[in-house]
Amino acid sequence: MVKQSPVTRERRRHRGSDRVTIQDVASEAGVAPITVSRALNTPERVSPKLRERINQAVANLGYVPNLVAGGLASAEMRMIPVVVPSLSILTFIEVIHGIQQTFEQAGYQVLLGSTDFDLDREASLVDSVLGYSPSGVILTGLRHHDRTARRLRGWGRPVVEIMELGDECIDMNVGVDSHAVGACMAQHLLTRGFQRIAYLGTGMDRDYRAMQRFEGHRRVLETAGVECDLLFRREEPSSYEAGRRLFLEALATRPDLEALHFANDNLAAGALLEANRRGIRVPEEIAIGGYLGLSLGEHLTPRLSTVTVPRYEMGVEAARLLLSRLEGGKPSASRVDIGYELTAREST
């Protein structure tokens, strides 16, 4: 028997739905598919007359491009995976917000991944996410699995590492100097005349940036010749409750403490609110400093002193950097120090 001609089912699409394709639009407008493709992706390369006719056909048929097919052909999906350690930490949320807003305007989609501070999970996440042929990638921090770094370096598309700042980045880097940030608050506390200063943090076994901030803090105190190893830590997620517990723990262990430097504003706020509740006067009996610049801080009584980091802006800047590489050629810089600011208020 002769092999059955495929022509017999010519009209029925092989698989897939009855979606309108670029071919349908091309027929409707009386042009070649490639011209439709150009009219949609690079309109300036199609004559106004045809462009108009094609747009009309698109509207008539309700054509929506199949981005997957386009992505396969051009080896680029217009999307950007953003890999962060956690989605329950407000900091990352705000950065993601900035990233998302910026990319959305430019027509890129943001893909979300979280690693729970685990570099192995980051590695497998990056692997699988590269399978989507994204236009670029945004990662958190400068420390990665060897394989991850190698793979991304050889990938040939823009990569931005955020949060941390350092010389050895894969491609581009936007962040703050963790050591400096920790040192900043420590210095501030010294300047205000406090001597017995403790650092209090959570999750420092996993979040090495928190550790770097402590390191900055420690060095300043060491240089100043005061007790520098006062560290209270809990291995649990950061929360108001954790801040409260650290506060009570520190008070019970070392009643002579003069100032508490918390790893972030959530913890500091938890402590400050507990002080309020117990009638402990801040900063007269004990001073409290934080890090981040959460808006909550300025509504507390006393207003919380903190080191403010522009988190939303960091996201925007990371996205801009990536976009400029995607659209233009080389970007202005490949390393941006987003900076920080000491916000000295009433709690110190």
Partner DNA sequence: AAGCGAAATGGTAGCGCTACCATAAAACCC
Partner DNA sequence: GGGTTTTATGGTAGCGCTACCATTTCGCTT
**Residue burial 150-179, b: 16+ Cβ < 10 Å; e: rest:** ebbeebebbbbbbbbbeeebbbbbbbbbbb
Closest CA to 138 of 322, 328, 324: 322
Instruction: Assess 88 for contact with its own copies (CB under 8 A).
Output: yes
- Strands 335-337 and 306-308 turn out to be unpaired
What is the four-CA torsion angle of 39, 41, 42, 46, rounded to 10 degrees?
-10
- From DNA, its own copies, none, which one binds at residue 226 (CB under 5 to 8 Å depending on kind)? none
Instruction: Assess 83 for contact with its own copies (CB under 8 A).
Output: no
Q: Which of 34, 59, 87, 248 binds its own copies (CB under 8 A)?
A: 87
- From DNA, its own copies, none, which one binds at residue 127 (CB under 5 to 8 Å depending on kind)? its own copies
CA distances in angstroms from 291 to 250, 277, 321, listed in the order given: 18, 22, 26
Q: What share of the chain is helix, strand, coil (3-state, %, to 5)?
A: 45, 15, 35
Q: Which of 50, 106, 119, 130 binds its own copies (CB under 8 A)?
A: 130
HSE (CB half, 13 Å, CA atoms) of 276?
A: 12
- From its own copies, DNA, none, which one binds at residue 150 (CB under 5 to 8 Å depending on kind)? none
- From its own copies, DNA, none, which one binds at residue 46 (CB under 5 to 8 Å depending on kind)? DNA
Stretch that binds its own copies, among 28-36, 138-146, 272-280, 331-339 (CB under 8 A): 272-280
- Strands 159-164 and 137-140 turn out to be parallel
- From DNA, its own copies, none, which one binds at residue 54 (CB under 5 to 8 Å depending on kind)? none
| Residues engaged in binding DNA (CB under 7 A) | 6, 13-17, 19, 21-23, 30-38, 40-41, 45-47, 49-50, 63, 65-66, 69-70, 72-75
Closer residue to DNA (CB): 13 or 281: 13
Q: Which of 35, 102, 114, 148 binds its own copies (CB under 8 A)?
A: 114
